Amino acid sequence: MRVGRIGYINCYPVYGAIDRGVVPLPADLVTGTPSELNDLLAAGELDVSVVSAVEYARNARDYVLLPDLAISCDGPVRSVALFSHRPAVELERATVLLTASSRTSVHLLELLCKDVWQVQPRFAQARAEVADLDGLAGLPHDAVLVIGDPALLLAARHAYAHRYDLGEEWKRWTGLPFVFAVWAARRAAARDAVGDIHGALLASRDWGLRHLDWLAEAASRATGVAVADCRSYFAGLDYALSYKHLAGLTDFFRRLAARGIVPNGALRFLQVA
């Protein structure tokens, strides 16, 4: 069995105990960006993975969701943000660079532009993941969508006049939490093996949530983000998938389905004993 994980620190609370041998995982781990993991799971190169919420919606016939496990927020997320030289309501026909590594964040930004800020920018796909922050200055743009660890680092530089936290903007708009990523398994994968992996991920998450101070120190060493900022970041994330999270997720999917981006369909979960 092969299990995918995102290399960003937002996955530390879920995989920290597995990485340290506290919780055994009956599978091999594969690390990648959200888009890379999306593609690997779709191609059958992974059996279970954390994937963008939109990726699950697009391939729901082939996947099942792992219950009670997600990366979400009920307010600011901090690591998914639009950095802009001008107010968002003034981005009509402005050039907005899009990260290549998160389809969910891109579609959320498109919804906010159309339905909240009521602008139609010129979106330009970045050639790769927006991680070279020093190189951004050389790219012609009015705003840029940055996710993951680079978003935390860019926020500390104060290089843009405006910063819009997409989790916070969604909460202000809908009053609901936003689910950025879920854990999904291919339906063809052995159910018992997936169940064992699910159990290990939940146990590792529970351990991680009890050791956030320790994980924040490790995250700071890995990224250069201050320990206190890493700790605050972890505190603002939610790794559950409760009824309130599902309400936000289905509302997001409904809005995308209305635009023909994802098919209509019910959420299907792994059946656990």
With CA atoms as reference, report the closest residue to 31 among 56, 50, 16, 47.
50
Listed in order, strand segments (DSSP E) in 100-194 are 122-125, 143-147, 162-165, 178-186
* CA gap 197, 242 in Å, rounded: 20
pLDDT at 23 over 70: yes
pLDDT at residue 228, as a whole number? 96
| SS3 label, residue 253 | helix
Arithmetic mean of pLDDT, 11-32: 96
Better-predicted residue by pLDDT, 118 or 139: 118
At 35, the pLDDT band (50, 70, 90 cuts) reads confident
Phi (first) and psi of residue 69, to 5 degrees: -150, 120
pLDDT digits (tens, 9 = 90+) for 41-66: 999 999 999 999 999 999 999 999 99
Q: Which CATH architecture has domain 80-174?
A: 3-Layer(aba) Sandwich (3.40)
Q: Tell me the residue type at 118.
A: Q
Computed over every residue of the chain, the mean pLDDT equals 92
pLDDT at 271: 79
Question: What per-residue confidence (pLDDT) applies to 133?
Answer: 63
Alpha carbon 110 to chain centroid, angstroms = 16
Residue 139 pLDDT > 90 = no
Query: What's the mean pLDDT in 169-196?
Result: 95
Whether the pLDDT of residue 156 is over 80: the answer is yes
pLDDT score of 184: 97
- Residue 202 dihedral angles phi and psi, to the nearest 5°: -65, -40
**pLDDT tens digit string along 185-242?**
999 988 899 999 999 999 999 999 999 999 999 999 999 999 999 999 999 999 999 9
Predicted pLDDT of residue 67: 96
Residue 100: what pLDDT?
Answer: 66
Residue 65: φ, ψ to 5°: -80, 145
- Judge if 2-72+178-258 and 80-174 fold alike in CATH terms: yes
The CATH class of the 2-72+178-258 domain is: alpha beta
For the chain, the 3-state helix, strand and coil shares in percent, each to the nearest 5, are 45, 20, 35
Domain map of the chain by residue range?
A: 2-72+178-258, 80-174
| Whole-number percent of the chain with pLDDT over 90 | 78
Instruction: Mention every residue, 6+ apart, whose C-beta is less than 8 A from residue 271.
Output: 191
Please say if the pLDDT value at position 108 is more than 90.
yes
| Helix 166-174, helix 103-111: angle, nearest 10 | 50
pLDDT of residue 140: 83
- The pLDDT-based confidence of 71 (bands split at 50, 70, 90) is very high
